[in-house]
């Protein structure tokens, strides 16, 4: 058992489970660094044909960044987190085999941004999706805005991001954010493995080529900019609005943003 994550193998399928249920599987710097190592380990295993990402429990896939860490983060630390996160998420997007995000519960902030880099997204009926960072006075720092727009459209993406709007599984299916909704987390887990086994039976060479062609076509209209995201988020942590947003979240009150 590892702190924050589990890695299991189901024949030629690797299952990565984010395992921090006490904090809704929130991401911190250590966990993101660990994911970088896990992905490299899996990629070096030529027997693996599909990867599944999921979260432990029924409440959350990944409910965003760890607020305890955010509340004390310096601009330098924020920039590093953005840089290592972009590295990991780019690795997911360009992984040599298909990646499935099996979303159980909340996929918010960095959790949704991870989903957006997966090749296929499926979810349980209780799933919720959003990039609510604006309520904290920060930006989604791992390429989420552009990726979300490329999947669900510019208008819907701006509506979600500007309002900090969270959508349910029915809306996610309607938007094309997910391809299938399961009635329970147990059904989702079975469905994810069934889907993975079906894909694993196909030619890995053909799938890799198809994936590259599709990603290249999408990236012609949108290429993530880690430098811009890092600078923008680091700047957020110099502002009073970000301090107020994080403080208000911890105190469970509405933030009073001053625009400075």
Q: Does the annotation count 113 as an active-site position?
A: yes
Q: How far apart are CA 190 and CA 70, in angstroms?
A: 35
DSSP label of 179: S
Q: How far apart are CA 42 and CA 13, in angstroms?
A: 10
Q: How far apart are CA 201 and CA 74, in angstroms?
A: 47
Catalytic residue among 33, 93, 133, 227: 133
Q: How far apart are CA 61 and CA 256, in angstroms?
A: 29
By the 8 A CB rule, do 184 and 124 touch? yes
Catalytic residue among 33, 77, 93, 113: 113
Phi, psi (5° rounding) for residue 64?
A: 105, -160
Closest CA to 166 of 233, 103, 112: 112
The β-bridge relationship of strands 60-62 and 128-130 is unpaired
Residues in the chain: 260
Closest CA to 129 of 89, 173, 99: 173
Residue in the block written with tokens 């509340």: 71
CB contact burial 141-164 (16+ within 10 A = b; e otherwise): bbbbbbbbbebbeeebbeebbeee
Q: Does the annotation count 58 as an active-site position?
A: no
Phi/psi-derived region of residue 109, left when phi > 0, alpha when psi is between -120 and 50, beta in every other case: left
Residues with a catalytic annotation lie at 113, 133
């Amino acid at each position: 058992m590892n702190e924050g994550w589990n890695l299991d193998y189901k024949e030629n399928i690797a299952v990565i489970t984010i395992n921090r249920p006490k904090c809704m599987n929130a991401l911190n710097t250590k966990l993101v660094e660990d994911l970088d190592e896990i992905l490299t380990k899996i990629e070096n295993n030529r027997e693996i044909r599909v990867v599944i990402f999921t979260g432990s429990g029924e409440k959350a896939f990944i409910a965003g960044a760890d607020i305890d860490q955010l509340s004390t983060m310096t601009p330098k630390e924020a920039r590093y987190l953005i840089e290592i996160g972009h590295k990991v998420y780019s690795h997911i997007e360009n992984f040599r085999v298909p990646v499935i995000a099996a979303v159980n519960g909340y996929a918010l902030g960095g959790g949704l941004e991870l989903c957006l880099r997966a090749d296929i997204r499926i979810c349980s009926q209780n799933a919720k999706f959003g990039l609510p960072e604006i309520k904290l006075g920060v930006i989604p720092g791992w390429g989420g805005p552009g990726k979300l727009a490329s999947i669900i459209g510019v208008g819907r993406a701006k509506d979600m991001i500007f309002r900090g709007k969270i959508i349910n599984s029915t809306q996610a299916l309607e938007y094309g954010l997910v391809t299938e909704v399961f009635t329970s987390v147990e059904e989702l887990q079975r469905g994810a493995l069934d889907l993975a086994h079906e894909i694993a039976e196909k030619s890995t060479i053909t799938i890799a080529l198809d994936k590259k062609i599709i990603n290249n076509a999408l990236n012609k209209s949108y290429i993530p900019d880690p430098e811009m995201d890092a600078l923008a988020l680091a700047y957020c942590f110099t502002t009073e609005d970000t301090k107020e947003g994080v403080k208000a979240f911890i105190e469970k009150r509405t933030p009073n943003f001053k625009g400075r």
